[in-house]
Amino acid sequence: MTRRHRPLPGPTDRLVFREMTEDDLEDMAGLLGDHDVMRHYPRPKTREEAFAWIEWNRRLYEQEGFGLWLVALRTTGEFVGDCGLTLQEIEDVTYLEVGYHVRAELQGNGYATEAAAACCDHARHRLGAKRLVAIIAPDNQPSQRVAEKIGLAFERNAISRSGESVRIHATTW
């Protein structure tokens, strides 16, 4: 059986994307288990939850043709984090969202912005999306800046499915 081709965001000046695999568990568990990376989430994820994260994204690749992809440095292959597209429901509306996580020690280098911009372009030009959002915790100013840099302006405050207050940043093409 041949695997159907699923396009990835193109490489950027510094980054490359690929689908996550079970072999990425160590890197993803370290990323999602880091208190600094997950400070705007209810809590860091356990190793088992990181494995479930990988499996969720693998299902998304099959079902939707996208998900969060693993991001690495183009020159060395060093693991940077994850970034990509998911479907998220807020107040009974399903949105295409761009999401990103960068290793704590690599934050502040513009990697989230570079990766998210590539995913934004991918959504618009490869997937034909007409709208893209970022759903961000109100106190997560670094992620809000990333969203604004890639053209997602603050649209409104909302309540997530888990009952948390969030900010919706969005663009429409």
CA pseudo-torsion sign 53, 58, 63, 66: positive
Residue 4 binned pLDDT confidence (cut-offs 50, 70, 90): low
Residue 173 binned pLDDT confidence (cut-offs 50, 70, 90): very high
2: pLDDT strictly greater than 80? no
The whole-angstrom separation of Cα 173 and Cα 129 is: 8
Q: What is the pLDDT of residues 59-68, one digit of tens each?
A: 999 999 999 9
CATH topology of domain 15-172: Aminopeptidase (3.40.630)
Q: Answer whether 100's CB lies under 8 Å from 83's CB.
A: yes
Q: What is the pLDDT of residues 38-59, one digit of tens each?
A: 999 999 999 999 999 999 999 9
- Domain-by-domain residue ranges, the chain? 15-172
* Tokens representing residue 21 in the block: 């695999």
E runs forming strands in 22-65? none
